[in-house]
Chains A and B, each alone.
Chain A
Amino acid sequence: MSDKDEAMTTSETAAGATDTLAARPEGETLLRVSGLKKHFPVTKGLFKRQVGAVLAVDGLDFDVRAGETLGVVGESGCGKSTMGRLITRLLEPTAGTIEFQGKDITHLGTGDMRPLRRDVQMIFQDPYSSLNPRHTVGAIVGAPFRLQGVRPEGGVKQEVQRLLSVVGLSPEHYNRYPHEFSGGQRQRIGIARALALNPKLVVADEPVSALDVSIQAQVVNLLDDLQAELGLTYVIIAHDLSVIRHVSDRIAVMYLGKVVELTDRQSLYNKPMHPYTRALLSAVPVPDPRRKAAQGRDRILLQGDVPSPMNPPSGCRFHTRCWKATEVCAKKEPPLVALETGHQVACHHPENAADQEPGDTKLLTDLPPQATAEEPTPTTTKN
């Protein structure tokens, strides 16, 4: 297929340019995050008195290993984008630590962060608003060199043109403006900019969600190729579970500012342990009309919406929508523990694993209505 040819040329140019890059040992921890929190204050009145806080990210612990792709999924408002902005230090964390290559970068100032910006780059969600409409593509992709004072071999222009060809654009596009490009091409410009300084870690915030299906596949393949050739480490934030499964090695599922499940791709999709993960997976529409008629699996319909992060539920944050919730769920917050090797779950009553609170069997949904007045009952329907 001709697309393969395209990919081939891309890979050749990329490979030619990257032999300078030393191979990093696999599996070494590149980024470690512990107890990370970000609370946005909610103020009121003349003196901006703080009346509350949006607990956008409320205690995250995970690490990212060199060369892998960590996927982060969750509903809108669960704090995944805030998390992405925290680890690239575009936002100042409220608490917790972020270590990049063993160095604490939690509270580094702008000047101290600058050398690190070479190693940590970001691809933004919206290719329409993340490119300055008054700058040419050359100026946009060349900006990192200018800001970092890097003089690439052969000059900035040549390097920018090389980058453009790496991401599948034509070097002649150097003098064009963003509005002359389609959405997919703009996203490629954003990717070229992120790759300009040979970063170690790329945080991609919904890199494909603004694109059409056919273009989406082009960008996903491009990210794949670049990772193989440049040895990049990705943190990919997305809400589309099928895209996340395609790109990630390990996946973190977030709910209301917390990681509820963190494991490798295989066990997440084959053996989800957290009820929320199971509900999410079952909600994905399957492009197969025969499944509609003869659907063996149960679709779990979660009722209602995600509660407000200003006032999250007590105990396990999912207990208001969980069909397995018991009394302990409303009182005690489940810790994120490894129930199997490499499979961390924060749940008292996980699926596909031993119950963590076997003594507590009384379902919240069976309790008298006054206790559960605010808890809608999720129903399991068979389609």
Chain B
Amino acid sequence: MTDDPTDKSGRRDTGRKNAGKADAEGGAAPGKPAKADKTAKAAKAAKAGEADKPAKAETPAKAETPAKAETPSKTAKGDKTAKAGLTKGGDARGGPAEPAKGEDGGERSAPRAFLEVRDLHVHFPTQDGLVKSVDGLSFKLEKGKTLGIVGESGSGKSVTSLGIMGLHTVGQYGRQRPQLSGEIWLDGEELLGAPADKVRKLRGRTISMIFQDPLSALHPFFTVGHQIVEAYRVHHEVDKRTARKRAVELLDRVGIPEPAKRVDSFPHEFSGGMRQRAMIAMALVNNPELLIADEPTTALDVTVQAQILDLIRDLQKEFGSAVVIITHDLGVVAELSDDILVMYGGRCVEYGAADKVFYEPQHPYTWGLLGSMPRIDRDRTDRLVPVKGSPPSLINVPQGCAFNPRCPYADVPEGGITRTERPELREVEPGHFSACHMAQEDRERIWNDEIAPRL
């Protein structure tokens, strides 16, 4: 117990150093003025050094008083600011930029929110380079609420969810091991630094997940009932008969006809919609407090999709759990979510209440998403307004704002700042964050004059 956190934070630090290095190298490549590059490098090196120190100082404190989260708050605060400085990559402006910080004033303590993710980084070392799938993501979620994460494929949505589940490090060793850093707080407990055994006890019981493709997520060799019973018995000391009764009850709850008979069916005997229901039953068997649904309806038809969405909504009402729903379908998000987080290139570009994100979107990428989809509830438009180009490579994320090569308004802010400096997530109005260099007036003008009338 005592040496584990030390080990963890040590590894985390090396991970961050590598990330910083890769950053600087990436910056040097596209032929930027050498001077600016050098200063950036120097700033980064300095900050990396700062980041190292407080982190090291923090570890013994943490090891001594693992129960009290309050004690190391001072050192942790220093650590936090250093971290923020590093991720900013030479951003001169200080001040609270992340939603997590905005509300609890930069204090690192056990958060009040049920789930809170702070500055999460997930980087995968590959032969081609470091893939920064998630690069500084923060959000929080209360019980009984739903957070929708939207974004294109490759924007880091699923990696985030697997990160919360703690599934990135399972069975991964050596050089291929992904580098994780940041904090994930669930109900007052930090998960990223917690020992594997502890996370394993939470996984499936407190946090559970509905996967995208039920055919590959279910084991083809075991009956559906067997798999649900297994999930239940891992966390509860019950005999097989009780567990089986529970499985039948759950199958009935998710709307599978004749559950007592179907409990002995194999996954291949189920249709797509029923498999997804069986998987939902498996996810819910331990009454999880946090349910992560990763594209739960993408493989399904609209009629079945409507059934599944209805089911998730009902179950949430019944059990009062927190739900994170990951999808690329804005329609699904609008139906379910209270809050929406829009991801692009591994980072959050817009975060706010569903109503705000749909009616007063602040980021050009959100405008692009809204313009790209044909709407069945509006009059038919002659042309869609697509986002030009294609999603960025996560190995070589564009300099400055990751969206700048595809952004039609990249030149609105003066001095080419979009191409050199990465915009931080800033609060535009209470509870609504956006990462864009454009001035508030410009954004409002463009949205009201150019985008909104065409949707």
Contact = CB atoms under 8 A, between A and B. Distances in A.
Interface in B369-397: 369-377, 380-381, 383-388, 390-391
A381 interface: yes
Given A220-B384, A287-B334, A289-B358, A214 B329 contact: no
Contact of B306 (A182, A214, A285, A304): A285
Contacts of A215: 152, 386, 390
A214 B310 contact: no
Interface residues of A, number: 50
Given A289-B354, A301-B310, A283 B303 contact: yes
A212 B152 contact: yes
A343 interface: no
A243 B330 CA distance: 14
Given A283-B302, A302-B303, A221 B370 contact: no
Interface stretch (A1-9, A39-47, A115-123, A358-366): A1-9
Nearest to B384: A217
Nearest to B355: A289
A246 B374 contact: yes
Nearest to A286: B377
Interface string A212-247: 111111101100100000000000000111110110
B386 A305 contact: no
Contacts of B376: 241-242, 245, 269, 281, 284, 286
A304 B257 contact: yes
B386 A3 contact: yes
B272 interface: yes
Contacts of B305: 283, 285
A287 B301 contact: no
Interface in B331-365: 331-335, 337, 354-355, 358-359
Interface in B291-342: 301-307, 309-310, 328-335, 337
Interface in A267-294: 269, 279-292
A286 B334 contact: yes
A299 interface: yes
A288 B301 contact: no
Contacts of B370: 287
Contacts of B39: none
A1 B408 contact: yes
Contact of B332 (A216, A285, A288, A305): A285
B358 A288 contact: yes
B18 to A, nearest CB: 27
B395 to A, nearest CB: 14
A213 B330 contact: yes
A212 B380 contact: no
A185 interface: yes
A112 to B, nearest CB: 38
B153 interface: yes
A220 B374 contact: yes
B355 A182 contact: no
Contacts of A376: 257
B390 A184 contact: yes
Contact of B274 (A76, A305, A381): A305
Interface string A177-218: 000001011000000000000000000000000001111111
B454 to A, nearest CB: 10
B375 A287 contact: yes
The 3 closest A-B pairs by CB, nearest first: A285-B331, A217-B386, A217-B372
Given A212-B153, A213-B372, 5 more contacts: A213-B328, A213-B369, A218-B386, A281-B376, A302-B303
23 contacts: A75-B303, A182-B391, A185-B390, A212-B328, A213-B328, A213-B372, A217-B371, A217-B373, A218-B387, A218-B388, A220-B374, A224-B383, A241-B302, A242-B376, A245-B376, A284-B302, A285-B305, A285-B309, A286-B375, A287-B373, A289-B334, A302-B306, A305-B272
